[in-house]
């Protein structure tokens, strides 16, 4: 626990830590936003004030993430899980193939949904290696008539992350970036579409960011429900139906915070420093802690590891919770431990965890 402000050391995988400065500003504006006598949650999404908030968030995202003009920026709902269905609904014709690169549970779920709308195939999978690594770029072989290629940029459950992305040529590359979006600079031009839930790096749960190339929208299927067409939301500036207004307000404030921190270059450098502290505690433990991911595929967002034996692992998690660390349990499907070090997790929290890990090892070795 950080005694200075009584904030927990929050390593939750999502919803996850938000910047304290953003929370404090939201608190100060919660009941009377800009002298209106109303909360932002009470205002019409058609009001001039919300329009300014909404468009400001889009503008800041474009600037920070270097999003070219040929891409739409949409704020949707339903999380990444709805995108698993919307993507093939919009971009996959019956009988047409799409390639899925399998690196974990979320890739599997996206692949499963795509089967309902076409003929997806597995481009390559690391499942036999228990999803410990990201595929080598030379192992990615695609078909020239694929509708798209889909990948998950960071895998929260297994703690792996792409450090470089494949060149798919004229085939649109679609990436689920839910757990590492805007944690570092990315060349948007490599992608036909990027999507992400906001609840890890960008704000609270309830907002889904979609960055999609405009020419893909022109070729998309039209014989699907109106609200499930990306073109519907692009044509209406994401205001076809009532959007998650408070979530978009918070997202905009998080983007302001990121800009004040120096933008994505500075955010990326800080994320590398934070992750190194915890990985060093693992690597210097002489096997007391064991990382799940292979070193070349390690995530800077989700650090997954096991403790020497099951009894000690349970004790580690118990004592960590007593010491003020929250969210260190691994995903229920794999167990173990996981520290999620998203953008808003401060370096101080990672240093505290690294120190705790070292002391726990000394105590129990």
Report H helices in 66-146: 79-91, 105-114
Residue 176 annotated as catalytic: yes
Catalytic site residue from 106, 146, 229, 257: 106
Nearest to 254 by CA among 61, 5, 39, 27: 61
Catalytic site residue from 146, 162, 184, 200: 200
Query: Following CA atoms 214, 186, 238, 169 in sequence, which dihedral angle do they give, to the nearest 10 degrees?
Result: 20
Catalytic site residue from 146, 162, 176, 184: 176
**Nearest-angstrom CA–CA distance, 49 and 37:** 13
Cα–chain center distance at 365: 36
**Nearest-angstrom CA–CA distance, 115 and 138:** 26
Tokens representing 340 are 């999620």
Whether the CB-CB separation of 31 and 39 falls below 8 Å is answered with yes
**Nearest-angstrom CA–CA distance, 215 and 212:** 9
Residue 200 annotated as catalytic: yes
Cα–chain center distance at 210: 12
Report H helices in 92-211: 105-114
Active site residues: 106, 176, 200
């Amino acid at each position: 626990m950080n005694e200075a402000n009584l904030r927990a050391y929050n390593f939750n995988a999502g919803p996850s830590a938000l910047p304290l400065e953003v929370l404090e500003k939201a608190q100060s504006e919660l009941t009377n936003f800009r002298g209106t006598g109303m909360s932002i949650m009470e205002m019409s999404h058609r009001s001039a004030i919300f329009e300014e908030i909404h468009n400001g968030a889009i503008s800041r995202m474009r600037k920070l993430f270097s999003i070219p003009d040929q891409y739409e920026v949409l704020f949707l709902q339903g999380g990444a899980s709805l995108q698993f269905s919307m993507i093939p609904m919009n971009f996959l014709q019956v009988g047409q193939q799409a390639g899925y690169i399998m690196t974990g549970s979320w890739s599997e779920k996206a692949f499963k949904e795509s089967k309902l709308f076409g003929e997806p195939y597995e481009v390559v999978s690391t499942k036999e290696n228990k999803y410990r690594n990201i595929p080598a770029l030379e192992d990615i072989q695609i078909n020239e008539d694929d509708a798209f290629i889909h990948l998950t940029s960071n895998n929260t459950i297994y703690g792996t992350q792409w450090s470089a992305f494949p060149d798919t040529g004229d085939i649109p590359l679609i990436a689920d970036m839910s757990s590492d979006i805007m944690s570092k600079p990315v060349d948007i031009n490599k992608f036909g579409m990027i999507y992400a839930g906001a609840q890890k790096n960008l704000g609270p749960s309830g907002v889904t960011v979609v960055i999609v190339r405009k020419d893909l929208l022109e070729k998309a299927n039209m014989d699907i429900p109106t609200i499930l067409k990306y073109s519907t939301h692009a044509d209406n500036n994401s205001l076809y139906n009532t959007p998650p207004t408070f979530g978009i307000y918070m997202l905009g404030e998080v983007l302001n915070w990121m800009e004040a921190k120096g933008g994505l270059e500075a955010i990326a450098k800080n994320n590398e420093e934070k992750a190194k502290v915890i990985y060093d505690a693992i690597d210097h433990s002489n096997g007391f802690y064991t990382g799940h991911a292979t070193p070349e595929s390690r995530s800077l967002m989700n650090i997954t590891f096991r403790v020497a034996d099951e009894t000690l692992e349970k004790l580690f998690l118990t004592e960590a919770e007593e010491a003020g660390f929250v969210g260190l349990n691994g995903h229920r499907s794999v167990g173990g431990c996981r520290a999620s070090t998203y953008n808003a997790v401060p370096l101080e929290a990672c240093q505290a965890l690294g120190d705790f890990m070292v002391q726990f090892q000394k105590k129990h070795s």
